[in-house]
Amino acid sequence: SFSLYMTHGGTTFGHWGGANNPAYSAMCSSYDYDAPISEAGWTTEKFFLLRDLLKNYLPAGESLPEVPAALPVIEIPEIHFNKVAPLFSNLPEAKQTVDIQPMEQFNQGWGTILYRTTLSEATPAGTVLKITEVHDWAQIYADGKLLARLDRRKGEFTTTLPALKKGTQLDILVEAMGRVNFDKSIHDRKGITEKVELVSGNQTKVLKNWTVYNFPVDYSFIKDKKYNDTKILPAMPAYYKSTFKLDKVGDTFLDMSTWGKGMVWVNGHAMGRFWEIGPQQTLFMPGCWLKEGENEILVLDLKGPAKASIKGLKKPILDVLREKAPETHRKDGEKLKLAGEKVIHEGAFTPGNG
């Protein structure tokens, strides 16, 4: 048998990218896959190698048609963002629940959810906050101060708290990433799936009485926020807004490499998720969704950018992985260099079994 997987890369726009499990791993927005036909519909060297192979099996007298020309690609000069709407200053209508529940129970399928409660008694330093479970990436705040980030991919469901006084506002902001789309984990509820506990010594207390705020990914929800002009980037989750003008339209790749973690909308279209860890650092922007004249771009960054600007590139960046991972049997900084080594032996195995 012979399989072409994937023949054409493509993009999973919006929040539709799925996930693998176990271990949990959400998919990128890009589904390029190093496929014979790229994310933007370009033919590659691999495409022509396959084409040359497969044309040998055409029926007599038939020939392959010409390959369509690639769509035009443009660059977009750097777009600067100076209008910011902090997430915590733009809360939607609150909902109340005694026991914590996943976001689906609040009629929300994708996006971000904020769980808020008030501590009814002082919490001593060293108390462990235990969440069952974070789906999929959480930031924990006490009276607006960031205490910790928890990542489902790494099995992070607990954090040790500092001393917190009675009446402290505890916020848990959870982003839903890709849903597991096969096997036993397919019922992949998002937000916090079961409960939040405070564990101190041999005492465990389940936190109750939550106020919940839902932040869906619909453009109709995110377009009307209270934006303020600012030159100082907030170290908090926020929406960013800007416009840019084009004389001509074409496909491009939005460079998100200076941003943290979130999602982008251009002219009302949800382009996909971004995350600084990579390996994908650009979002494919189809030219058919751009306009000659003024275009609108909105960014939700849950972590915060190092620099609030975006350029449109002619080529994607799909191979810059920033997450630190150990290389087997090597210490930090060690690299395997074989250029100066000599081959000790060359040979071949005898054909056949054994």
- Whether residue 325 is predicted with pLDDT greater than 70 in this model: the reply is no
Q: Residue 174: which domain range?
A: 91-215
pLDDT at 235: 84
Residues 100 and 211 in one domain: yes
Inter-residue contact 207 to 169 (CB < 8 Å): no
Task: Give the number of domains in the chain.
Answer: 2
Residues 211 and 255 in one domain: no
Inter-residue contact 209 to 155 (CB < 8 Å): no
- Whether residue 354 is predicted with pLDDT greater than 70 in this model: the reply is no
Residues 255 and 204 in one domain: no
Residues 211 and 106 in one domain: yes
On the 0-12 / 13-18 / 19+ scale of CB atoms within 10 A, 63 is exposed
Q: How far is CA 223 from CA 20, 183, 228, 267, 312, in A?
A: 31, 37, 14, 10, 22
Q: How far is the C-alpha of 37 from the C-alpha of 268, rounded, in Å?
A: 27
**Interval 6-30: pLDDT, tens:** 899 899 999 888 999 988 999 999 9
pLDDT at 83: 95
Residues 187 and 129 in one domain: yes
207 phi-psi bin (left φ>0, alpha ψ -120 to 50, beta other): beta
**Interval 277-300: pLDDT, tens:** 999 999 999 999 999 999 999 999
What CATH number is attached to the domain comprising 135? 2.60.120.260
> What's the predicted TM-score (pTM) here?
0.89
158-160 sheet: strands from edge to edge: 158-160, 128-135, 191-200, 203-206
Name the nearest CA neighbour of 11 among 230, 268, 273, 348.
273
Please, which residues have CB within 8 angstroms of residue 309's CB and are 6 or more apart in sequence?
A: 78, 79, 80, 81, 258
Number of H helices, E strands in the chain: 2, 23
Q: How far is the C-alpha of 12 from the C-alpha of 14, rounded, in Å?
A: 7
Residues 140 and 240 in one domain: no
Residues 206 and 251 in one domain: no
